[in-house]
């Protein structure tokens, strides 16, 4: 993965797949990905990158640490 910083939605999905997540699957207002019993909603596509703040919150919900994310 790129160094800690803003990422594109496509890069986020690729990184999560490399960490063992499956999906994204359609459901409700957001797509989601799963790994075992962990289910995380993927941010909807938009023009800009996913900022550091949202990335941090998202990875915390997914149970992925910064070092694990950067090591992918």
What local confidence, expressed as pLDDT, does residue 18 receive? 93
What local confidence, expressed as pLDDT, does residue 8 receive? 92
Sheet holding 31-35, edge to edge: 22-25, 31-35, 38-42
What local confidence, expressed as pLDDT, does residue 12 receive? 92
Sign of CA dihedral 37, 66, 3, 49: positive
Tens of pLDDT along 51-63?
999 999 999 999 9
Tens of pLDDT along 6-44?
999 999 999 999 999 999 999 888 999 999 999 999 988
Report domain extents, the chain: 9-71
pTM of the model: 0.89
Distance between CA atoms of residues 22 and 44, nearest Å: 17
Answer CATH for 9-71 from 3.20.20.140, 2.40.50.180, 3.30.920.30, 1.10.1060.10: 3.30.920.30
Q: What is the CA radius of gyration of the chain?
A: 11
């Amino acid at each position: 993965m790129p160094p800690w910083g803003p990422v594109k939605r496509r890069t986020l999905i690729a990184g999560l797949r490399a960490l063992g997540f499956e999906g994204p699957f359609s459901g409700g207002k957001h797509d989601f990905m799963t790994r075992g019993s962990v289910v995380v909603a993927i941010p909807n596509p938009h023009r800009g990158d996913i900022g550091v703040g949202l990335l941090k919150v998202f990875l915390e919900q997914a149970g992925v640490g910064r070092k694990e994310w950067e090591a992918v």
